[in-house]
Structure 1
Amino acid sequence: MSKRSIGMIAATALTVLAPLHMAQAEEIVLKVAHFWPPTALSQKTVLEPWCAKIAEQSQNRMKCQIYPAMQLGGTPPQLMQQAADGIADIVWTLPGYTAGRYPTAEVLELPFMTTSAESGSRAAWNLYERFGQKDFEAVKPLAFNVHDAGHVHNNVRPIKTLADFKGLKLRAPTRLTNKMLAMLGATPVAIPMPSLPDAVSKGVADGYVLPWEVIPTMKLHEMTKYDTETDPAQPSLYTAVFSIVMNKAKYASLPDDLKKVIDANSGADFSASIGKAWDESGTMARKIAAEGHQVDVIPAADMGPWRKVGDQLAVDWAKEMTAKGYDGQAMVDAARELTAKYATK
């Protein structure tokens, strides 16, 4: 074979292999958006380690660029649509910020459903698979999680009975927690999470319902002094459901091996790991947030009126869901069954 022929073959091989090499070396950057500050658990304990994992498992072909505190624009209730539209590739948000749009995600937000964030988060993923795939068909869910036990915090008075709620303006994250507050006797106020510190400092709200972990991050403990917990041996007063979802077109555009990386780091185990991070964060956050406060714990023996409110809200919600074409009672029953099942593991 002549030198000229060998040269032509080599050149042809390089021409064929070059695009392949470039494709393999191409770095895919995923825009990841959320509404918390960059120091929050959501970014430091969950998103940053998750992003590091997918970078490692993809040999750095896939990386994240995280945009905290709504840096891509818009408001927290718009995050889910931003993922659907491709403004962000991945978002972490509360489906409940868009009231009524994702009804199957609400069932775990009923009072006295969860005993831990880890078991509740595993249940949340299972409930999505069983009931919620149509609700979330515009995006690709990667995880569903709940936070650890939610409590009541205010700057007006201690809350020991339902009568103490009367006249208090309290902020809650979702429509079901707002309904719960109204049934307990308070006046719910709708305030976006980033605006809550300012609202409390100006008296627009007297307090809020939140888990301990969030409070120091937002410096809310500096504006309230009375905290009410329910008996820790009982299911928590409330929780909120979060979701991490991905733009479907972005996922579809990935090579098959990178899809496998995303899939391997999604689902029930990822959801449960997020819940576990919430559970583990609570003790230290409580030490910071409760310092100098009056903390009252409602004993199980006094929880009857509180549980009655929760039971009635569950009945009302099941009827509402059934009227919308869902099997509301089946979702309530499944939520209770799953949270009890996973709590024992």
Structure 2
Amino acid sequence: MKSFSVRKLALAAAVAATGLIGATASSLAQEVTLRLHQFLPPQANVPKLVLDPWADKVEKESGGRIKIERYPAMQLGGTPPQLYDQARDGIVDIVWTLPGSNPGRFPSTEVFELPFMMTNAEATSRAYWDLFEKSMKDTEFKDTHVLGVWVHGPGMLHSKTPITKLEDLKGMKVRAPTRIINALLGQLGATPVGMPVPQITEALSKGVIDGCVIPWEVTPALKVPELVSNHTEFGGDHALYTTTFVLAMNKAKYDSLPDDLKKVIDDNSGQEFAAFAGSTQAGADGPSRQIAVDRGNNIIEISAEDTETWKEAAQPVYAQWVEEMKGKGIDGQALIDEARALIEKYTSQ
């Protein structure tokens, strides 16, 4: 009887040990859960075509040891301008946001938002990453671990009344995403109205604004082709404007990862990811534009020749920005020259 009890206890201990090992193995199988927070609905193109594929790839390459929970449309609370601090403070692990949502905080990024600076999203995103690594990583973005930076495709005007020439903008209330685009619109004669992108739908429907500047790709998610019937595009080699984005991770969370999981994150960060994100976002412009075409909306194309008038009118924005940068101890003209050279380099490749 005694030997049976001993055997029974030994078996129970073995089963318990096996359970403990199994639990340990199970916990190792998924070591990290990361919460990704952003401001657009899940069906919008950036979550669908950029952020979800990125997160899926990280999960797969980690062998399931990283799980990325996706929280769209500010589901975890706060407002879009608070996203960067949510990552910095560890309220969430990863955010996708606009540096320009915090005016003056990331001044170097604004060089890519200056009027008629961008050629195409891929080349400009590569240039942005280069300049980020050289001038921004250890200064303006030192409080987070940045995974990628990029820009969207050509920014353009969407309006209730047609904009066929510069004078048509006069007095029109137009939403802009950042202070640089506000400055541009003001210089061109409009009344700029700064607001985060999720507010555009309501602002247009209630008549708070007469139009907005956004790229084509985000228009379906915001119902813009249903709310306005005029869309103004610009000819030439450079876009009216673009907006900068950042995918940022809490620094302590990244530092806490084991080396092999850090490598998974690193392998999906950097310039190639920036180029993928920028080109993919811009790639959604065409299908989104077609929605407006199919509705019979008015697509206005400013010729390359007439676009020169708009460029000329926008030039004071550069001088004003350089002067503002001087007050921050930044050589704005040097940044402009370097950004242009990098964009040209990657555009010609």
1:1-345 matches, cutoff 5 A:
21=25, 24-133=28-137, 134-156=139-161, 158-231=162-235, 233-290=236-293, 291-345=295-349
Deviation at 1:37, TM superposition (A): 0.4
Normalised to the residue count of structure 2, the TM-score between the two structures is 0.91
CA distance in 1, matches of 2:255, 2:24: 19
Residue of structure 2 in register with 1:4 after alignment: none
Deviation at 1:18, TM superposition (A): 7.8
Where 1:216 maps in the other structure, the secondary structure is coil
CA distance in 1, matches of 2:27, 2:256: 13
Where 1:295 maps in the other structure, the secondary structure is strand
Calculate percent identity across the aligned residue pairs.
48
CA distance in 2, matches of 1:16, 1:193: 49
Q: Tell me the amino acid that sits aligned with residue 140 of structure 1.
A: H
Where 2:284 maps in the other structure, the secondary structure is helix
Where 1:152 maps in the other structure, the secondary structure is strand
CA distance in 2, matches of 1:301, 1:277: 29
CA distance in 1, matches of 2:69, 2:114: 34
Deviations 1:252-295 (A, max 9, x none): 11111100110110010000000110221111110102431212
CA distance in 1, matches of 2:246, 2:78: 18
Matched residue count: 335
Deviations 1:289-322 (A, max 9, x none): 2431212111121123211233321222122112
Deviation at 1:23, TM superposition (A): 5.7
CA distance in 2, matches of 1:175, 1:125: 21
Where 2:335 maps in the other structure, the secondary structure is helix
Deviation at 1:343, TM superposition (A): 0.7
CA distance in 2, matches of 1:286, 1:202: 24
CA distance in 2, matches of 1:20, 1:296: 62
CA distance in 2, matches of 1:174, 1:143: 19
- Aligned-CA RMSD value: 2.0
CA distance in 2, matches of 1:297, 1:26: 52
> Contact 1:212–1:289 (CA<8 Å) still a contact in 2?
no
Where 1:257 maps in the other structure, the secondary structure is helix
